[in-house]
């Protein structure tokens, strides 16, 4: 009687991992909380460690956290709160009064040993309010946090979505927030199911979701994922990309996200400089996510 039940739970147990989550929009922004719920529902053990305030555009800045001199965003903690803190009813939701890089560093070095008895298996950041395409990656705190994690040996994915605005955690969840959380969970689960190492050393993924409309692209099932590159290739100078969809040149993530239809781009980046990884690294990701990826129509 118990044996079939054990078998039915085996895939979930096998693919459930420890994840540290951060962003640059702040710990109380609805997208990060919705992703937390989605990843947790998928069986993963997640700890959130994100800035106390909106720190968009701070790139890879890092500074010692300080006591709050004003309330956290959306009044999610009072003025005078300590430099690091957590939600009283959900201690896995943590804030750090500093930059995104500082926040994820605290999550990896302090919270992960407490909750995971070691380092997290994966770092996810976002979903960012607004896309992070091309040159945006140099300024994005969501990307900065992901690349920091990758540089210290934690596979990392930065998620960003075209639709939405800064929204508090305690309102009715917008459709776009649910869709982006489900899409991010889908990418995470696909990568985890492919087995370790989840990504090559010092590699991160930049994932951008296209717009969620009022009557189109309203479900995660509507979206298709396309392997892309962050920056436009320079003719005669940029080496060939991995061969896929009949070409050795991947579309830019900007082209993918701006295309008609419901698309999400997945680019393979180097943590050290936030530039595109080479064809060998792209091929690793192509193989791992082959069940998810399609060609741009």
Residue 252 region by backbone torsions, left for phi larger than 0, else alpha for psi between -120 and 50, else beta:
beta
pLDDT tens, position by position, 184-224: 999 999 999 999 999 999 999 999 999 999 999 999 999 99
pTM score of the predicted model = 0.95
State whether residue 160 is helix, strand or coil.
strand
* Euclidean distance between CA atoms 150 and 268, whole angstroms: 12
pLDDT value at position 138?
Answer: 98
The fraction of the chain above a pLDDT of 90, given in percent, is 95
* Euclidean distance between CA atoms 200 and 194, whole angstroms: 13
Average pLDDT over residues 46-67: 98
Angle between helices 2-15 and 175-193 (to 10 degrees): 100
Kindly tell me the burial class for residue 185, based on how many C-beta atoms sit within 10 Å of its own C-beta (0-12, 13-18, 19 or more). buried
Does domain 17-288 fall into CATH 4.10.640.10?
no
State whether residue 100 is helix, strand or coil.
helix
Quick one: tokens of 192?
């985890």
Quick one: tokens of 45?
């053990």
The fraction of the chain above a pLDDT of 70, given in percent, is 95
pLDDT tens, position by position, 11-42: 343 489 999 999 999 999 999 999 999 999 99
Average pLDDT over residues 106-123: 98
Q: Are 239 and 249 in contact (CB under 8 A)?
A: no
Q: For 86, which DSSP code?
A: E
Quick one: tokens of 83?
């430099």
User: Domain residues of the chain, as ranges?
Assistant: 17-288
* Euclidean distance between CA atoms 99 and 52, whole angstroms: 9
pLDDT value at position 297?
Answer: 87
pLDDT value at position 244?
Answer: 98
Of the candidates 225, 219, 224, the residue with the CA atom closest to the CA atom of residue 268: 225
Helices (H), the chain: 2-15, 30-41, 100-106, 112-116, 141-151, 175-193, 253-258, 279-288
């Amino acid at each position: 009687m118990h044996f079939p039940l054990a078998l039915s739970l085996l895939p979930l147990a096998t693919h459930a991992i420890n994840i540290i989550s951060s962003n640059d929009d702040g710990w109380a922004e609805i997208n990060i909380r919705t992703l937390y719920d989605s990843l947790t529902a998928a069986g993963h053990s997640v700890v959130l460690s994100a800035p106390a305030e909106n720190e968009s555009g701070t790139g890879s800045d890092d500074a010692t956290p300080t006591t709050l001199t004003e309330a956290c965003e959306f009044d999610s903690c009072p003025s005078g709160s300590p430099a690091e803190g957590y939600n009283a009813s959900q201690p896995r939701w943590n804030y750090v009064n500093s930059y995104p890089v500082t926040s994820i560093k605290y999550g990896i070095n302090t919270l992960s040993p407490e909750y995971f008895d070691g380092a997290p298996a994966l770092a996810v950041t976002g979903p960012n309010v607004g896309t992070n395409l091309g040159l945006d990656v140099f300024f994005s705190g969501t990307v900065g946090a992901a690349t920091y994690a990758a540089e210290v040996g934690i596979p990392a994915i930065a998620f960003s979505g075209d639709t939405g605005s800064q929204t508090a955690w305690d309102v009715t969840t917008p459709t776009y927030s649910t869709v982006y959380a489900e899409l991010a969970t889908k990418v995470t689960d696909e990568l985890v199911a492919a087995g370790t190492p989840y990504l090559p050393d010092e590699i991160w993924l930049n994932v951008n979701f296209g717009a969620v409309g009022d009557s189109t692209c309203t479900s995660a099932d509507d979206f298709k994922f396309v392997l892309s590159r962050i920056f436009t290739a320079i003719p005669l100078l940029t080496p060939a990309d991995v061969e896929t969809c009949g070409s050795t040149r991947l579309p830019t993530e900007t082209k993918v996200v701006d295309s008609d239809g419901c698309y999400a781009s997945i680019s393979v980046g180097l943590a050290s400089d936030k530039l595109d990884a080479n064809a060998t690294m792209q091929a690793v990701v192509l193989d791992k996510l082959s069940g998810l990826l399609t060609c741009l129509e």
